[in-house]
Structure 1
Amino acid sequence: MKKVYFTVTGTRHYYGQSFIEAGMTVSLVKDKENEHDREAIQVELPGLGKIGYVANSPYTVRGESYSAGRLYDKFKKKAQGTVRYVLDDALLCTIWIKG
Structure 2
Amino acid sequence: MEKIYFTVTGTKYYYGNEFLEYGMKVRLVKEPDNEYDKEAISVEVKGLGKIGYVANSAYTVLGKSMSAGRIYDKIGSRAAGKVVHVLPQGVLCRLSKKSLSVT
TM-score (norm 1): 0.94
Amino acid across the alignment from 2:27: S
Amino acid across the alignment from 1:74: K
Query: 2:56 matched to 1:49?
Result: no
1:34 aligns with 34
Alpha-carbon distance in 2 for matches of 1:63, 1:49? 26
Amino acid across the alignment from 1:94: R
Hey, which of these two has a bigger chunk of strand by percent? 1
1:21 aligns with 21
Q: Deviations over 1:5-35 (max 9, x none)?
A: 1000000000001111010000000011210
Amino acid across the alignment from 1:89: Q
Query: 2:81 matched to 1:87?
Result: no
Amino acid across the alignment from 1:16: G
Unaligned 5+ segments in structure 2 are none
The answer to which structure, 1 or 2, has the higher relative contact order (CA under 8 A, 6+ apart) is 1
Aligned Cα root-mean-square deviation (Å): 1.3
Q: Deviations over 1:40-84 (max 9, x none)?
A: 000000111000000000010010000000010011100000000
Cα drift, residue 2 of structure 1? 3.1
Moved over 2 A (4+): 96-99
Alpha-carbon distance in 2 for matches of 1:49, 1:89? 21
Unaligned 5+ segments in structure 1 are none
SS of residue paired to 2:4: strand
1:3 aligns with 3
Alpha-carbon distance in 1 for matches of 2:89, 2:31? 22
Q: Share of identical aligned residues, percent? A: 59
SS of residue paired to 1:3: coil
